[in-house]
Each structure stands twice: as C-alpha cells, then as structure tokens.
Amino acid sequence: MSATEIDFYELLECERTADDKTIKSSYRKLAMKWHPDKNPGDKEAETRFKMISVAYDCLKDPQKRAAYDRYGHAAFQNGGGAGPGGGDFGDIGDIFESIFGQAFGGGGGRQQARRGADLRYDMEIGLEDAFHGKKTEIEIEVSAACEPCHGSGAEPGTGARRCNMCGGHGKVRAQQGFFVVERTCPTCHGRGEVIEKPCRACGGEGRVDKPQTLEVDIPPGVDSGTRIRLSGKGEAGPFGAPPGDLYIFLHVRRHAVFERESTTLITRVPITFTTAALGGEIEIPGVDGERLSVIIPAGIQSGKQLRKRGAGMPVLQGRGRGDMVIEISVETPTKLSARQKELLRELQETETGEECPGSKGFFERIKAAFSGLAD
C-alpha cells in the first residue's frame, strides 16, 4: 500500500479541518516515531516514514492542500501536478529539528544575524601594577553600530523587504535524491530580509569603524597571560546583531629586582663575605613599598635561599599572598686596603681547615683519588 492509496489526513492522524500548526505538530511526532534512524532495519517503519512525509509535503502547501481537498489523489495524477507523486519525501529539515534540536534545523525559520567578532588587545604593565591592580584606559578603533541607521543598515526612513529568493525563511532547499538539502540563502545570507536602500553612512552593513575609549579594571595578582574580558566591547554585529567581546591579554614587564614564579617573588642579594661569616641583618624593599628585614645566619653559603612568608604577590581573585625567596650570593672583595689585607693574612695564619668543611672534604677526596692512581 502506498501513500497515494491512503487518505493523507488519516496518515497524519488529523482531522480535515486541522490548521497548519496542528498538521505540522502531528507530522513531527509521527516522523520521530517512524524515522529509520530510530527503527534500524525495520522496513515497515521506513515505508511508513516515507508515506507520512509524502502526505505532509502535500498538506503543508496551501495550493496542494486545496487541490487535494477538492480532487483527492486524482489532483496529482495524470499530469495534475508535481505533488506527492513526484517523489519529494518531505521536510527533512523539520525531522532533524524534532529529533536533534536546533543544531540541525535552526528553528525552521530565518537565521539570527551572527554576533560581532571577538577582539584581542595586548597590554603591558609593570610588576607594581600587577601587585596593586589599577584602573586604566585604552583607546582602540573598532566597528560600532552605525548611528544614522541604528545598526539596521537601511537608509533612515526606509526599511527592509522580505527576501524573494527564500520567502523570508533565510534558507533555500534543493532535493538531492531522497534528501532535501537546506542551505543558507545566498541573497539575504540567512536574514530573510533584503535592504532596498542601503544606509549611506555605513554602506548598508549597519556598522562603522570609529575610535573608542574604554576603562579597564586590572585586579591585583594578575600575571602574564591573564585575560580580562570586556563583554560587548568587541566588534559590532552586522545589521544590528549583538557585538562580540574584547579580551585584554596582559604582559608583565621584567622587573629590575624581582623574578616571579606564580605568586612567589625571587630576588638575588649579594652580601660581603664577612657578613656571610659572622651573620647579620639586611633590608630589601618589597614590591608593596615596605622595607623587609632579613636575618642572615652566620656561615651562610652562596646559593642558600631564605624565605619571607607572605611577602610575595597577591593571589588573583583570592586571599593572601605568596612568599618572597631571597637567594644569597657571597661576594668576594676585589679592592682591599693594606690594613684589610694584613687582617686577612692574620686570619689565614689562624685557619686550621675546620672553618670550611666543604673545601676540606673536597681536597680530601682529591687526595684519595690521586693516591688510588699512584697505587
């Protein structure tokens, strides 16, 4: 039994007085039920799906439906029309919309104009700004909605008309074998409307390039690579569509004193060999402007790291601060007075080797190694 042997209203389980919305709703429900993808290998379901698709193809068209209501199946036989006997097996876009949602069907209507493009702005700041945070302004040139036409693209006092190519749907369909392929309308580009008289200020695009001054709020604790989003400050969308976003990418300049690893600040501090030997106290400035006192233990060696808790960078969008690491570098004097040399010689004469266990152990290993070679 074919679709042309059963009443189309009966196939779609509708009354003959049903309106277009009721017919479409019933068709979608039945299409979901009998779709081959939901009934793999079921030939009866596949046949049923084709039959209801043929019926819906007829009844969704006002002219075809009127002819069918008056003449029945005979309206499409013996050259009576292209209708359901022509092999158009239905509105596949509607089926996809019902089964998979708007990802395929696009809502069955014209497309929404695409939003404007997102933009990127690279900003360089100092470590102090990254520590304290700051409010600053930037100037960029970006596409904005055209003021004379308010982003519509039409000359003031005029409007847009329905696209003749797609009938205002924003999409055109072409049959390729069994399937009906749906594409964006090439004339209106999915809008469903065509501007008859383009705005002279923007050329009909609804947007123009112009400079803008924007305020940027940089929070404390940012680092290189931190991204700040300014919603709606990107490029304006065409024909009044929503604008994109502006992303501020931060780059923190290299500091003269501190290196940074996440929230940890690292600084290398040279000290005299006498301070290293006897111990002492030094002061170094923090990024926050405060001076930090650092106790140097007696006998400290080059490369030793001291840590000041809570003296590093703030935690971004959090609480507390990281640490500061002070790496010690023992500096050997290069200019000595005669008296200083004399004192050092006196010190040298009193050395027993026990004062510097590292060097003593090294020379003992050297001696053992060469003794082994001699043997």
CATH number for 259-331 (one of 3.40.47.10, 2.60.260.20, 3.40.50.620, 3.40.50.720): it is 2.60.260.20
Distance CA 104, CA 106 (A): 6
Is position 188 annotated in a ligand binding site? yes
Whole-prediction pTM value?
0.58
Average pLDDT over residues 226-234: 93
pLDDT-based confidence at residue 134 (cuts at 50, 70, 90):
very high
Please tell me the CATH code under which domain 3-108 is placed: 1.10.287.110
For 147-156, 189-198, 348-357, 365-374, which range has the lowest pLDDT when averaged over its residues? Answer: 365-374
CB contact burial 48-64 (16+ within 10 A = b; e otherwise): bbbbbbbbbbbbbeeeb
Q: Are strands 324-331 and 264-272 parallel, antiparallel or unpaired?
A: parallel
Is position 58 annotated in a ligand binding site? no
Domain boundaries, the chain: 3-108, 114-147+207-254, 259-331
Distance CA 91, CA 84 (A): 12
Query: In which element (H, E) is residue 228 found?
Result: strand 227-230
pLDDT at 6: 73
Fold of 114-147+207-254: HSP40/DNAj peptide-binding domain (2.60.260)
Is position 356 annotated in a ligand binding site? no
Is position 14 annotated in a ligand binding site? no
Is position 185 annotated in a ligand binding site? yes
- 272-330: pLDDT as tens digits: 989 998 999 999 988 888 899 999 999 899 999 999 999 999 999 888 999 999 999 99
Short-list 23, 250, 29, 11, CA closest to 126: 250
| Same fold flag, 3-108 and 114-147+207-254 | no
Is position 202 annotated in a ligand binding site? yes
